[in-house]
Amino acid sequence: MQISENARTVLERRYLAKDNGKIETPEEMLRRVAANVASAEQNWDKSKVKEMAEKFFQIMDKLEFLPNSPTLMNAGRELQQLSACFVLPIEDSMESIFGTLRDTALIQKSGGGTGFSFSRLRPKNDRVKTTGGVASGPVSFLKCYNAATEAVKQGGTRRGANMGILRVDHPDILEFIQCKADNKEITNFNISVGITEKFMEAVAANEKYDLISPRTNEVVDSLSAREVFDLIVDMAWKNGEPGIVFLDRINRANPTPHIGEIEATNPCGEQPLLPNESCNLGSINVMKFAKQTAKGWEIDWNHLEEVIKIAVRFLDNVIEVNNYPLSSIEKMTKANRKIGLGVMGFADLLMRLGIPYNSDQGIQLAKQLMSFIQTKGREASIELAKVRGVFPNYPGSVYESQNMPLRNATITTIAPTGTISLIAGCSSGIEPLFALAFTRNVMDNDKLVEVNPVFETIIKERGLYSPELMEKIAETGSLKDIPGIPEDLKAVFVTAHDISPKWHIAMQAAFQEFTDNAVSKTVNFPQSATREDIEAVYRLAYELGCKGVTVYRSGSREGEVLTVGKKTDSEVAVIKTASIAPRKRPRVTHGQTERIQTGCGTLYVTINEDEEGVCEVFTTIGKAGGCAAAFSEATARLISLNLRSGVQLEQIIRQLKGIRCPNPMWQNGQLILSCPDAIAKVLERYLSEKKGIILDEKVAVEHTKTGNFQGGLDLSSTCPECDGILKHEEGCEVCLDCGFSRCG
């Protein structure tokens, strides 16, 4: 397995099994996964187990195919939960709402992401017959689910991620559209509006449309479709949410309409699923199938077909060996046997073939490639069905009417590949590159210019490579303003922000045409983009047949600190630490002391103020001379020094909050992770009472960097785990350094 040092670090941190200090190698991980998934073969032909284990290992070892992260992490281990995507039902009753919340906790504990439709819940202030009270509405329960995810994710290897969907004709739709206006709210959910064709027709005609009560199924009000559409656009322009999903279009592609209606998707939107259904995903690294011939670089279609058929068999086997978190999910999943085979490395493939991403030739290659994968994938599923049988819900499905006896109700999905593409060393999914070169922070503040390997190879072939040139390109990530680069290279080596939004959507639509499920992709906009630009993309996505769309305007997230190019002195506040000295402590201060329970014992935190505000913190825990007392005193002294040196209390809280120790504990319904976390929570309550400020759960680490690029980045923050660079694509945020992902 030829991987980069960074990929190896990601594997060691998140994927490789550890036992009593011994850690498996990447090859051992792949052997573990291959053997476990191949064990399903004994259900039909025991003689195939060893053969398929080797074939599964080979396509993973050569980085031609990788399954979704839960399979790499858990196959052959105690947890054995291998699916990434789940959708759960929420009916209009407390029993259903909190029963589903319990199920969600179990799924997220096992590493899965969850999607929900809140559309069946009665609107805010609707009557509740059993109690005589009024309902709190879908958004209140969305916030409840968000808080539960925050608690569950503390102990997992993958963060809990959710998708919340509300139909556009729900009476609470205006509240839902605006529920993430504050970037500090509902941080564990992506949200999307479920758009109907009736609504889009009303938008086009500038007419009103009806709001329908899910409790009575009666019309309760009407709104201007144009005004609602404008509000969706406005919010997406401000911070990228909500996204939109086209529910009618999704259900026209529902292979089993006789079983139920699709109301929701997984967290990144690429996997529409029935209630209580899961799906396992995998991606083919299409760059691996570029071969040099006498005619130039071409795709090795024969080898690609071989890998497609092995990958389909792999994913079907996963359904057999999977340990499902709920029996209801196992039943529905095995009845439909949905799999999602997609691609990664597409931008790399285009560059190697010399085809611009933003070109008709690029769009045609996308259609040719995905059509081939879908056709060969279906052929593989049909072959499996001959031995293993069709999926149980096949009778009555659309495939029965087409006389297409498939083993799997769906076969293709374009999924986010943030972490597995980092392992494979290729571009993510079908996204264009976010940068051709960028500067990575390494140990001791050293800088390392990292260059896309395909770009580096070609630039060397053309005799243009130099370290100085790479450093120059790393300032923006793009060739756009680099002198001396031939125009043909500038045309081929484009990045996310070199490409106009219409080409982003055209590429998404090209892949969607030959994808059973949906396509995860982000349409990147420059900061200067207008609301009209966002609106045009939403309309184009509808016209071109996409099942949904996610947009991101650079700089639209509050607190964004990474930008393109170099800032002027007036734009960057440079802190000269050598000149900072703490103000003197006054003789008399005033404050308060709070008692809080920690895993180390009872902690007393004293907060004092002088005329300029909070100036010091004292802590007491255990006996003097003990380790806990020493560390808490040291923490308090450093806090006090920072406060009297002008550091904002909010920044101190954000640095301390979330630090874990081996002995977390609960107090009054709140999880106290450590003594520093306890101090942060006391300081936050104090600040909240004084100023009415409630801080975000996330750690906000501000950097003032020069020479950074913005193509595809989530510029709102650096990685909360390693301070590395976050990129924003495929509807998610992924760290280039440690593999952290906000979407699990």
Residue (of 92, 140, 96, 142) closest to 115 by Cα position? 142
Active site residues: 266, 268, 270
> Residue 102, Cβ neighbours under 10 Å: how many?
11
Query: φ, ψ for residue 354 (rounded to 5)?
Result: 75, 30
Name every residue whose Cβ is closer than 8 Å to that of residue 706 and which is 6 or more positions away in sequence.
566, 567, 572
Beta bridge partners of 272: 265
Omega within 30 of 0 (cis) for the link into 242: yes
- 730 vs 676: CA distance, rounded Å: 35
User: At 42, is the secondary structure helix, strand, or coil?
Assistant: helix
679 within 8 A of 639, measured Cβ to Cβ: yes
Beta bridge partners of 113: 85
> Residue 219, Cβ neighbours under 10 Å: how many?
13
What is the number of alpha carbons within 13 Å of residue 396 lying toward its C-beta? Answer: 9
Q: Counting Cβ atoms within 10 Å, is residue 609 exposed (0-12), middle (13-18) or buried (19+)?
A: middle
- 667 vs 689: CA distance, rounded Å: 19
Q: What angle do CA 503, 191, 136 make, to 5 degrees?
A: 155
Query: φ, ψ for residue 606 (rounded to 5)?
Result: -110, 130
Q: Which amino acid is at 725?
A: I
521 within 8 A of 508, measured Cβ to Cβ: yes
300 within 8 A of 241, measured Cβ to Cβ: no
35-40-43-48 Cα dihedral, nearest 10 degrees: -50
Name every residue whose Cβ is closer than 8 Å to that of residue 76 and which is 6 or more positions away in sequence.
32, 33, 35, 36
User: At 488, is the secondary structure helix, strand, or coil?
Assistant: helix
Work out whether the CA dihedral 311, 317, 321, 322 comes out positive or negative: positive
User: For strand 219-224 and strand 208-212, is the pairing parallel, antiparallel, or unpaired?
Assistant: antiparallel
Q: Which amino acid is at 100?
A: T
User: For strand 277-285 and strand 85-88, is the pairing parallel, antiparallel, or unpaired?
Assistant: antiparallel
| DSSP 8-state class, residue 286 | G
H-helix or E-strand containing 212? strand 208-212
Q: Which amino acid is at 84?
A: A
334 within 8 A of 392, measured Cβ to Cβ: yes
Name every residue whose Cβ is closer than 8 Å to that of residue 13 and which is 6 or more positions away in sequence.
738, 739
Q: How far is CA 11 from CA 104, 230, 275, 286, 452, in A?
A: 26, 44, 33, 22, 20
342 within 8 A of 284, measured Cβ to Cβ: yes
